């Protein structure tokens, strides 16, 4: 298990390291003391858990949080500002710890991480899109469907916009709320966005979305959707 700690105060970082190694035996811990170091770490390594301070030498940890929204690791916020912590939940964070960090509360956060069943994804309100060096956020509720595009994905919204995402469908499914399902090897849709299921015969099926778009539906998922009705 790999853990990234992003904290600019050495004493606080050291405490988080000690507590992490105590409650996550055998984990590999990396520490970043600046926003730039953290951004580099995320591009170079795959992590399971991120501890993130929202105030990094005067720079906002929200910048990292936005860029990490589409990552498959879970995030625990470290902050002295409860209001900012509450805002962070819009980005699907698992929990937050207030400074000074209390060991008992730290253990509770770790326990949530260890027994988590993906419920943290249900809090996710935005998906990060990286394009031409810029980061933008798409509201989860505005996503109509997602289409495979090689090793990438094309995200289509209800207002007919589309964006290229740097993750494939399999990785996105690990991030998105449970409302999203893979209806075909090349398509993900939100169940709440489905308007109708179309059966053409000869094993051909399609899904009509609320937006009017029609996407292919595999035979297996056709049966699954019928059983779920």
131 lies in some domain: no
132 lies in some domain: no
Q: pLDDT tens digits for 78-90?
A: 988 777 777 777 7
Q: Are residues 87 and 162 in the same domain?
A: no
**75-86 residues labelled b (16+ CB within 10 A) or e (exposed):** bbbbbeeeebbe
Q: Are residues 36 and 148 in the same domain?
A: no
| Beta strand pairing call for 2-6 and 187-190 | unpaired
Q: Are residues 95 and 161 in the same domain?
A: no
Q: pLDDT tens digits for 56-80?
A: 888 888 888 877 665 667 889 998 8
Position 174 scores a pLDDT of 77
Element (H, E) at 18: helix 10-23
Q: Are residues 119 and 18 in the same domain?
A: yes
| Overall pTM > 0.75 | no
Query: Could you list the residue range(s) of the whole structural domain that residue 99 is in?
Result: 2-123
Q: pLDDT tens digits for 6-23?
A: 999 999 999 999 999 999
């Amino acid at each position: 298990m790999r853990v990234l700690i992003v904290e600019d105060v050495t004493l606080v970082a050291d405490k988080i390291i000690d507590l992490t190694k105590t409650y996550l035996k055998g984990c590999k811990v990396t520490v970043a003391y600046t926003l730039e170091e953290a951004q580099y770490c995320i591009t170079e390594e795959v992590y399971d858990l991120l501890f993130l301070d929202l105030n990094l030498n005067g720079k906002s940890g929200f910048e990292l949080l936005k860029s990490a929204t589409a990552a498959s690791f879970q995030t625990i916020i470290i902050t002295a500002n409860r209001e900012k912590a509450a805002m962070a939940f819009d980005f699907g964070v698992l929990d937050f710890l207030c400074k000074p960090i209390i060991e008992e509360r730290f253990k509770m956060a770790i326990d949530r991480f260890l027994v988590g069943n993906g419920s943290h994804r249900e809090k996710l309100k935005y998906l990060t899109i990286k394009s031409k060096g810029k980061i933008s956020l798409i509201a989860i509720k505005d996503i109509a469907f997602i289409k495979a595009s090689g090793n990438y994905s094309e995200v289509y919204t209800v207002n007919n916009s589309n964006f290229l995402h740097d993750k494939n469908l399999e990785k996105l499914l690990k991030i998105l709320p449970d409302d999203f399902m893979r209806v075909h090897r090349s398509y993900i849709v939100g169940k709440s966005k489905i308007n109708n299921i179309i059966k053409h015969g000869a094993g051909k099926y399609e899904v009509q979305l609320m937006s009017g778009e029609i996407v292919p539906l595999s035979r297996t998922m056709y049966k699954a959707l019928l059983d779920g009705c």
